[in-house]
Structure 1
Amino acid sequence: MRDPLAEPSDLIRSVSRALRVLEAVGRAPRGLTVKQIARRCELTVATTYHLVRTLAYEGYVIRREDGTYIVGLEVADRYRELVAAFRGPASVGESLRRAAMETGYSHYVGRFVGGRVAITAAADGPRSPYLEDLVPGFDDGAHATALGKALLSTLTPDQRFRYLKEWGMRSFTAQTLTAPEAFEADLAAGDRRGMQLEMGQYRQGVGCAAVLVSTDKDMERRVVLACAMPAAELMTTARVVRNRLVTVAKELAEAMAADA
């Protein structure tokens, strides 16, 4: 939700409207007509027509034979560029893929982006349940994932409170922690063991573990490493999992330092 009070004085309205059109089309996988786009974006049909024509020319939307518009391939190209920028040096991806292949567990790297918890790189492992929501992008369940917990644990209690108040503590399963007090106790337990955990809090039967890769006064430079697996398997191998994560985290830290 955009904050009207934060609108810049030099806002270029045509650009803002074009982005609203692109967002509306992106939320409608079956496509939208110009009139439907205009209604959803609260624009005139004439203005919407010119915006859509421009976006189609640039490749950001595609006009189908039935007259509806869908997202164009240029959006996918921008997404790939964003993922590459988030991931960092190529060696980060190589380390993740190697860890996923050797352990069979899916591995993830996360950091704060614009003040929000985000997954910035991922490598799928054959022994981990498929988690379609855990892909590069913002983590809307930060309070329920080990990756999110590891990052949130680096904040002060006041900063954490504000974060959870703004983004909420949605219940994903019966095990999801939805009370700030319980969440604080869980983070404290993770700090003591040197690894944040979640067992079935994000997805029933799935467990995740996470450790810090690097810390910094600048929250946007803090990085964590996580992996996912069947919860029952994590319960019996937690210490081994932690040792492996710490080893991979050191590799990532060295790769990032070398790149910097």
Structure 2
Amino acid sequence: MAEGKASSGGVQSLERAFELLEHMADAGREMTLSELAALSGLPVPTIHRLVRTLVNHGYVRQELSRKYALGPRLIRLGEAASRLVGSWARPHLARLVDEIGETANMAMLDGDEIVYVAQIPSKHSMRMFTEVGRRVLPHSTAVGKVLLAQLPERQVTELLRRTGMPAHTEHTITKPAVLVEQLASIRDQGYAVDDGEQELGVRCIAVPVPGAPTMTAISISGPAARVSEDRFTEVVPALKNIATELSTALT
């Protein structure tokens, strides 16, 4: 089968290969050719040809079960892309720090985990647990919860079943039903709060970055005494404004 041109002017086989990689990433698990065919609408022989090419180059691996999963060569690309995204985000986060006075963070949902890709610390001496490159489970962070709120409930339930909900503090939500109920409120109000759930005495507020290519959120974090509930009406609009700017920069 010759390589065709996609309607956008791109190379069709490349577009299809990237689509298959995205399906694997969204699934977060090994997949069969028939599953990929059902999701993509492509015939199995076409998918097999594309997947074999990706396997040969290390972007997909074939398991003993004959299922397919994302390959290790993507790690280097992902890390390089994360560094670039972080560099693009830092000027926006710096303005957020100037406006709010607390540490600003940017994080993405990577598989079942949250990874912090950019941070601008506040001028205060107290430092938060977050740092660039750190990975955490989403149930105990504001960025994690606001991103989970963007997913279908079934997908959230499956993720929580895979990861568990370990307690980091006495305030961590450890019951899926309780978190799912909170996610409905987060979805309605457009922001999430971590109130000492990851680190005692620390409060974080997060909003999603709309339309980002990868599920992305930004947050501010600081001592609960400084990030009081009285400041939510100030902090949330500031976060949403920066999130809109980042959405334009990332798309």
TM (normalized to structure 1)?
Answer: 0.62
**Aligned CA distance change for structure 1 residues 203 and 221 (closer, same or farther; 3 Å):** same
Amino acid across the alignment from 2:231: T
Q: Deviations over 1:39-60 (max 9, x none)?
A: xxxxxxxxxxxxxxxxxxxxxx
Per-residue CA deviations over 1:139-183 (Å, capped at 9, x if unaligned) read 323111000001111111111111111112111111110001111
Query: Measured at CA, do residues 129 and 167 of structure 1 come closer, stay the same or move farther in structure 2, by a change above 3 Å?
Result: farther
RMSD: 3.3
Show the counterpart of 2:108: 111
Structure 2 residue 218 is the aligned partner of structure 1 residue 225: yes
Between the two proteins, the alignment pairs up a number of residues equal to 187
Map 1:10-159 → 2, pairs under 5 A: 82=79, 85-88=82-85, 90-127=87-124, 129-132=126-129, 134-137=130-133, 139-159=135-155
- Which residue in the other structure is 1:173 paired with? 169
Contact 1:104–1:128 (CA under 8 A) maintained in structure 2: no
Bigger Rg, which one: 1
Unaligned 5+ runs, structure 1: 10-15, 17-77
AA in 2 matched with 1:197: V
Give me the identity figure in percent.
24
Structure 1 runs (4+) deviating above 6 angstroms are: none
Structure-2 separation of matches of 1:177 and 1:89: 29
1:65-105 CA-to-partner distances (Å, cap 9, x unmatched) read xxxxxxxxxxxxx99x9366345174311111222233221
Work out the CA distance in 1 between the residues paired with 2:102 and 2:116: 16
Matching of residues 227-242 of structure 1 within 5 Å: 227-232=220-225, 233-242=227-236
Equivalent residues of 1:176, 1:202 under 8 A apart: yes
Secondary structure of the equivalent of 2:209? strand
Q: Distance in 2 between matches of 1:128 and 1:206?
A: 14
TM-score, normalisation: structure 2: 0.64
Counterpart of 2:192?
Answer: 196
